Amino acid sequence: MWRKLLKIINQLVTTLLTITLLITLFLVISSKITGKDANLFGYQIKTVLSGSMEPEMETGSIIFIETEGDTTQFQENDVITFLTEENTTVTHRITEVIEGGEQYMTKGDANEAVDPQPVFAENIVGTYTGISIPYAGYVLSFATSKQGAALLLIVPGILLLINSFIIIWRVVQYVQNDKQKNIKEVNL
C-alpha cells in the first residue's frame, strides 16, 4: 500500500515539476524575446504593483488582460489597462467616456481622486478580464529576474534529473536482483 502511495506521490511531483518548468520557461522566454509581458492566447499577464485597485486587485497579484478588441468601445465602470505618458502600465476603472470613446477618465478604486490626465484610446493595452491570482505576481516578478529565471529553471530541472536517476537506479537494482534470483534457481 505504501509503495502505491509513494508511486502516486512521485508521479504527482514529477508532473508538477514538469509543468512548473514548462510554464516558467514559456513566461521567461516570451517576456525576454518580446521585451513585454507574457501574452498567452490573446491575454497578457500583468503584475499588480500598487494598491490603487484594492480590494478587487491586491498588490502582488497577477491579473489577466484581454489585449484584442476595439479600444474605443469601453463604457463607464470597465477596468482597462493603459500606458501613461511616462510609459508605465496602469490598470484603473473608467469613470467617464469622453468624445465618443476617443478618451477616457479613469480612477483607481482605492484612490480618492480621478486620474489627472485622460487616457487616449490608442494608449489602451487591454481590458481586465476579472481574473486575479493573489500573490502570484511576486513569483512572476521573481521568475522574470535573472536570479529567479535561473532558480526556477535550474531547480526543477535538477529535481527532474535526480528523479530520473532514482528511477534508473531502481530499474538497475530490480534487473540485478532478478538475475541473481535466476542464477540461484539454475544452480539448485
The pLDDT of residue 8: 86
Residue 57's φ and ψ, nearest 5 degrees, are: -125, 105
- Is there a domain that residue 70 lies in? yes
The secondary structure of 45-61 as a DSSP string is: EEE--SSTTTTTS-TT-
Distance CA 28, CA 163 (A): 24
The pLDDT of residue 172: 86
- Is there a domain that residue 69 lies in? yes
The pLDDT of residue 89: 83
Domain with residue 16: its CATH number is 2.10.109.10
Structural domain including 157 reads 2-167
Task: Given the residues 30, 50, 141, 164, select the one marked as catalytic.
Answer: 50
The pLDDT of residue 71: 62
Q: Domain count of the chain?
A: 1
Whether 132 sits among the annotated catalytic residues: the reply is no
- Is there a domain that residue 181 lies in? no
- Is there a domain that residue 173 lies in? no
- Is there a domain that residue 174 lies in? no
pLDDT tens for each residue of the chain, 188 residues long: 777 887 888 788 878 777 766 776 676 666 667 666 666 667 777 878 888 888 888 888 888 888 777 666 888 888 888 888 888 888 899 898 887 778 888 988 888 888 888 888 888 888 888 888 888 778 777 777 778 777 767 777 788 788 888 888 888 888 887 777 766 666 55
- Is there a domain that residue 12 lies in? yes
Q: What is the dihedral of CA 149, 153, 154, 158, to 10 degrees?
A: 160
- Is there a domain that residue 188 lies in? no
- Is there a domain that residue 175 lies in? no
Q: How many residues does the chain have?
A: 188
